[in-house]
Amino acid sequence: MSLTLYSPAKINLFLRILDRRPDGYHELASLFQAITLSDVITFSLAKKDHLTCTDLNVPVDSSNLVIKAANLFRARTGITQGINIHIVKNIPIEAGLGGGSSNAATTLWALNELCGRPASTRDLMNWGADIGSDVPFFLSQGTAYCTGRGECVQLIPSLPPLDLWIVKPSNGLSTASVYRAFKQSETEQRNPEQHLTGFLEGIPSFFNDLEAPAFSLLPQLQEFKEKLIIAGFSSVLMSGSGSSFFCIGNADIAFLKEEGVFCFKAKFLNRSHDNWYSLMIENGSIAL
Ligand code: C5P
């Protein structure tokens, strides 16, 4: 039996970084939103694990988060089942879009389905935190206020739709290096709870405390953001630790496509309690 699932990207509608913790992580408060930009992963039970991916830059050994997820699932359930995994990669890497974490969450969900649901979604969320800070979010229903190092997930009802473009320049950024360059003393002391209330009351405002450190590491990123604003978008914000941006509103971005920049027109994506994420295609039928 095989199972094919979408593995969506996320954006951070706002991202506040608070204190650096003794364990080296940072306390954060962020409104996460899943989007329709998705990898597609096919899973089937097998004797031994075997991972393939369409993007040859993605490691297919035990350093890949999907293998970590399979190992963790087996350790926590006692099930000794191998799995074949094939990833069709559409989400750019080193982009702040959570692609690797999403793939890990999707693997936990798929193994749980293929093995007869030995675990609850809450179990999978708790286990996912051991793989990466963003993994539990992807087991939410697509919109969540995340705190702690990102693993404390408070479900938020789905937000009104917004059309957005995801764009990523060719340079990528490593998450750890951006967090290392973060300086609290140079950050505006915004109250994340107030911003959350704003979203819930239909008055959204977007910000990302990791933009300044990312721009200090890669000044071309700031120039790239300015280009997007001049192109006509009403808001342009880096997602997570970058280097992708989400752009709200309308603008002529044909020039970016000509320059070979990754561009994807996305929407918010939510799922119902019992079902994994599915995408509506233009004529209204379910693609998966
Ligand atoms: O949890 P994850 O492995 O995705 O985090 C990657 C790196 O990002 C961590 O090793 C850490 O350097 C940084 N990070 C952080 N604070 C967070 C999340 C990530 O400093 N809340």
Q: What is the mean pLDDT of the chain?
A: 95
Residue 175 Cβ contacting ligand 1 at under 6 Å:
yes
pLDDT at 145: 98
pLDDT one-digit tens code per residue, 59-115: 999 999 999 999 999 999 999 999 999 999 999 999 999 999 999 999 999 999 999
Environment class of 120 (CB within 10 Å of its CB; exposed 0-12, middle 13-18, buried 19+):
exposed
pLDDT one-digit tens code per residue, 23-36: 999 999 999 999 99
Q: Which amino acid is at 73?
A: F
- In ligand 1, the atom with minimum distance to the C-alpha of 20 is 20
- 246 SS3 class: strand
**CA-closest residue to ligand 1 atom 2:** 132
Q: For 39, what's the count of Cα atoms within 13 Å in the CB-facing half-sphere?
A: 31
**CA-closest residue to ligand 1 atom 11:** 176
pLDDT one-digit tens code per residue, 173-186: 999 999 999 999 99
pLDDT at 284: 41
pLDDT at 125: 98
pLDDT one-digit tens code per residue, 246-265: 999 989 888 888 888 999 99
Average pLDDT over every residue of 136-148: 98
pLDDT at 283: 42
CB 242 within 8 A of CB 210: yes
Q: Which of 15, 179, 180 to mutate to test the pocket of ligand 1 (most atoms within 8 A of CB)?
A: 179
CA distance 128 to 130: 5
Where do we find the tokens 């039928």?
Answer: 285
pLDDT at 99: 98
pLDDT one-digit tens code per residue, 196-226: 999 999 999 999 999 999 999 999 999 999 9
CA of 245 to the centre of ligand 1 (A): 19
Residue 98 Cβ contacting ligand 1 at under 6 Å:
no
Percent of the chain exceeding pLDDT 90 equals: 91
- In ligand 1, the atom with minimum distance to the C-alpha of 132 is 1
Q: Which of 175, 208, 241 to mutate to test the pocket of ligand 1 (most atoms within 8 A of CB)?
A: 175
Contacts of 11 (CB under 8 A, 6+ apart): 32, 33, 35, 97, 164, 166, 237, 239, 240, 246
CB 143 within 8 A of CB 34: yes
Whole-structure pTM value:
0.95
pLDDT band at 280 (very low <50, low <70, confident <90, very high): low
Centre a 10 Å sphere on the Cβ of residue 78 and count the other Cβ atoms it contains.
Answer: 7
